[in-house]
Amino acid sequence: QVQLQESGGGLVQAGESLRLSCAASGTISGITAMGWHRQTPGNQRELVAAITVGGHTDYADSVKGRFTISRELRKNQWYLQMNALNPEDTAVYYCFFRRLHSNFWGQGTQVTVSS
The residues, ordered by sequence, that sit 6+ positions from 44 with a Cβ below 8 Å of its Cβ are none
The residues, ordered by sequence, that sit 6+ positions from 102 with a Cβ below 8 Å of its Cβ are none
**Cα 33 off chain centre by:** 12
What is residue 43's predicted lDDT score, i.e. its pLDDT?
A: 87
CA distance 54 to 107: 26
What is residue 42's predicted lDDT score, i.e. its pLDDT?
A: 83
Question: Residue 39 — pLDDT band, cuts 50, 70, 90?
Answer: very high
What is residue 50's predicted lDDT score, i.e. its pLDDT?
A: 98
What is residue 16's predicted lDDT score, i.e. its pLDDT?
A: 98
- As a whole number, mean pLDDT of residues 73-100 equals 95
Residue ranges of E strands in the chain:
3-7, 10-13, 18-25, 33-39, 46-52, 57-59, 67-72, 77-82, 91-98, 103-105, 109-114
